[in-house]
Structure 1
């Protein structure tokens, strides 16, 4: 048994599950670095631009932008999840990272003279990208794990794997904050955002090429509801968001 199999808690690993494990252990750290590289100064950069160089003065408007982002994410989270189940998660994940790339490039252009509506567009696009990415990797892994490991009926090995991959993601995310800050000091913060934009496009292409479903999962997708039925499901999700008083007031 390989070290990778022991690390992820697989007792009887096969080629399929090991391929998935290798994909996750490569992609998750890369994604972690790509997204987290500018975390230490992202909000500060936006706040300073909004406040004309005054960080505290701009923080109030940053709060408005975050509300816009969360609202867009909440509205589109359910529909994009349904589309991912219909088309395949790799399309949704790739689309999300293309949008992340656009967002980071737009952020690199922000100055104190940038119109507020430009920043609204940035945060709205970011919310839409987050809605697409949300749960997509987990859904891809879950769908294919059922095919690769049918003997794991109690899902114990599944739980161990998810815990370990989450640990790897967290460690890499934390460590990536240091080089991000160093790069910002050496090359300016806008350069780091542009680097992230390029990395996001690379991730999108790699995901589209390598994060594919097993044939059994693809066959099951063909037997899923028709487009009309999916639209009805999406409509019911939208009705729930705005029909349930608690959820509606939570969004507001």
Structure 2
């Protein structure tokens, strides 16, 4: 993991936190593959788009307040309640056949998502800075995070492959029932394992302090120019990814892999390649001392290239009614190629955020970002469904590549221009906003 040089207490924390995230996410990763496909067994694509829009609405409303709540009461309790809502939501989803039952399930899952987003990374980041104070340039952090990404990809590979076979045998309904039940086990694990360093000081549990955290988080997000424009870029590119992930990706998998086992195997192969690539990328990223420069450059090119490559691929290799080994292999190659640059970006962003965002407001900001993304993209999936219906998947993906290009230019140029303001520390900025 790259933590062998750290003191034993820090090593234990890193081992515990990373393994907890892997274990609690195991069933979610493998079974969520069939979320859209199972929904489309009972719903039209327009109904699914509407439900996803409603889900985003609930999540966008609750994401930021629950993030501030996590800063206030601690990540343990916000994670416990998130898994409670996840468990109930997926259990109901597993029995859903009517639109209204799906609606209830989507809302409960949205509430769970709103509490879960940013909580684990906040807990990890805030405690890491206390456990490993000697890592001033964050090189150890980036290497450890890259190793976590490797384990995460391997976890994906095992989860998708094993659970995909089980879902094929026992059915998708069984899979979502197991997923719902697994979240109640996660509640127990989080309750006992999510603890803070003894020197970590949490804000006093007073109503006034919670309101201050709400105000400060928004103020930091707006007044920090770098953060503001990075969030704007994220809003645009995540809008494209929402259309991609919810309406294009899994039907595309199914059209090339044909069966549920084929879909699971395809995803597993892609994630396995990702794990191997990340293992070597970890050494590369550890040697990147100018995080700002490379994060800025890669932010400008990674996502536009991702969508444009699929625009080309779908024109060269359109899906047919029968399985084609050539099309299937080329699909895996394209995924593997375009994911490599994005993987480097995903390693560098947390490293950049570690010092950009104040510890006191970290959960708030980590939740504010997806909250704003949801607010500005409530209708995105619905619009995406309209685009696919009228323009087709290929030209919809071309539009997504243009969205990603605009987002990349905004985020990338902002990161490259970022300067640390020595006249006012982050802590002073928070104090001035209070």
TM-score, with length taken from structure 1: 0.81
For residue 141 of structure 1, what is the aligned residue in structure 2? 124
Deviations 1:129-160 (A, max 9, x none): 11111111110011111111111122111111
Shift in Å at residue 186 of structure 1? 1.9
Work out which of the residue numbers 86, 92, 100 in structure 2 matches 1:106. Answer: 92
Change (3 A) 1:238 1:157: closer
2:170 paired with 1:190:
no
For residue 72 of structure 2, what is the aligned residue in structure 1? 86
Q: Secondary structure at the match of 2:40?
A: helix
Residues 93, 101 of structure 2: 8 Å contact kept: no
Rounded to whole Å, the distance in 1 between the matches of 2:170 and 2:376 is: 44
2:45 paired with 1:59:
yes
Residues 89, 140 of structure 1: 8 Å contact kept: yes
For residue 124 of structure 1, what is the aligned residue in structure 2? 107
Deviations 1:24-68 (A, max 9, x none): 332232223121121232211111122xxxxxxx22211111111
For residue 54 of structure 1, what is the aligned residue in structure 2? none
Shift in Å at residue 175 of structure 1? 3.0
Residues 29, 173 of structure 1: 8 Å contact kept: no
2:198 paired with 1:208:
no
Rounded to whole Å, the distance in 2 between the matches of 1:250 and 1:138 is: 23
Structure whose alpha-carbon radius of gyration is higher: 2
Rounded to whole Å, the distance in 2 between the matches of 1:103 and 1:70 is: 15
- Cα RMSD, aligned residues only: 2.6
Work out which of the residue numbers 234, 240, 244 in structure 1 matches 2:214. Answer: 234
Any gaps of 5 or more consecutive residues in structure 1? 1-7, 51-57
Q: Secondary structure at the match of 1:143?
A: helix
Rounded to whole Å, the distance in 1 between the matches of 2:171 and 2:3 is: 44
2:25 paired with 1:32:
yes
Any gaps of 5 or more consecutive residues in structure 2? 222-234, 236-371, 380-434
Change (3 A) 1:35 1:250: closer
Work out which of the residue numbers 145, 149, 160 in structure 2 matches 1:166. Answer: 149
For residue 151 of structure 1, what is the aligned residue in structure 2? 134
Q: Secondary structure at the match of 1:150?
A: coil
Shift in Å at residue 167 of structure 1? 2.4
> Which stretch shifts more, 157-166 or 172-181?
172-181
Deviations 1:200-220 (A, max 9, x none): 110111111111112211xx1
Shift in Å at residue 240 of structure 1? 11
Residues paired across the two proteins, number = 229
Deviations 1:77-97 (A, max 9, x none): 111111111111011112111
